[in-house]
């Protein structure tokens, strides 16, 4: 199927805001783990109306919502201030420990948890390593820190292979 299959997301929509979370809830999903930067808002930005509406709406629908970030506590808290989601900062993605802790805190399992993020080597790989359904979204903003820009260079051939093999 492909050399890089371990990096393949289960889904690859253009945006977090295109995902049909109501349908996923009907399908039995009960927890959603989100990356923040470039998944919900541009890198370093506070929550905006769109992200607050989405996350609060998911909680009202019955989802447990977890923000799983490699960022520091101050960044995660600033984003989450008006939302009130569960959070894990300095998660050390793609390490399995953050994802496992997230499910434990949400009271969910790998079978009823979704992960939504914008990077293959941290977000998708970590979630796949614990068996969570992964949704890779395109980054919201092109401006990124240099280490992420470098990772994107290595993501390109993997995404090209994924698109050739999976999204026909």
DSSP output for 107-147: T--GGGEEEEES-IIIIIHHHHHTT-EEEE---S-S---HH
Tokens of 115: 């992960």
Q: Where are the alpha helices (DSSP H) in the chain?
A: 21-26, 49-61, 73-80, 96-106, 125-129, 146-165
- The residue among 76, 72, 40, 74 whose CA lies nearest residue 56 is 40
Please give the residue that has the higher pLDDT: either 154 or 56: 56
List the domain range (segments joined by +) for residue 144. 5-165
CA distance 153 to 165: 20
Residue found under tokens 């808290």: 77
pLDDT beyond 80 at 2: no
**pLDDT tens per residue across span 79-111:** 999 999 999 999 999 999 999 999 999 999 999
What mean pLDDT is predicted for residues 14-21? 96
Beta bridge partners of 41: 37
pTM: 0.89
Q: In total, how many domains does the chain have?
A: 1
pLDDT at residue number 164: 81
- CB atoms under 10 Å from CB of 83, counted, come to 18
Is pLDDT of 20 > 70?
Answer: yes
CATH number of the domain within which 75 lies:
3.40.50.1000
More confident residue, 130 or 143: 130
| Residues whose CB falls within 8 Å of the CB of residue 52, separated by 6 or more in sequence, listed in order | 82, 83
């Amino acid at each position: 199927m492909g050399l890089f299959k371990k990096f393949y997301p289960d889904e690859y929509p253009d945006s977090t805001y295109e995902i049909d979370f109501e349908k996923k809830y009907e399908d039995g999903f009960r927890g959603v783990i989100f990356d923040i930067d470039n998944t919900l808002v541009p890198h370093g930005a506070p929550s905006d109306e769109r992200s607050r509406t989405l996350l609060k709406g998911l909680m009202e629908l019955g989802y447990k919502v977890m923000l799983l970030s490699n960022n520091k506590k101050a960044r995660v808290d600033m984003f989450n201030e008006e939302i009130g989601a569960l959070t894990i900062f300095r998660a050390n993605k793609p390490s399995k420990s953050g994802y496992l802790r997230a499910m434990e805190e949400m009271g969910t399992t790998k079978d009823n948890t979704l992960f939504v993020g914008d990077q293959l080597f941290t977000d998708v790989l970590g979630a796949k390593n614990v068996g969570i359904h992964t949704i890779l979204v395109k980054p919201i903003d092109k401006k990124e820190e240099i280490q992420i820009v470098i990772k994107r260079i290595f993501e390109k051939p993997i995404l090209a292979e994924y698109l050739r093999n999976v999204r026909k």
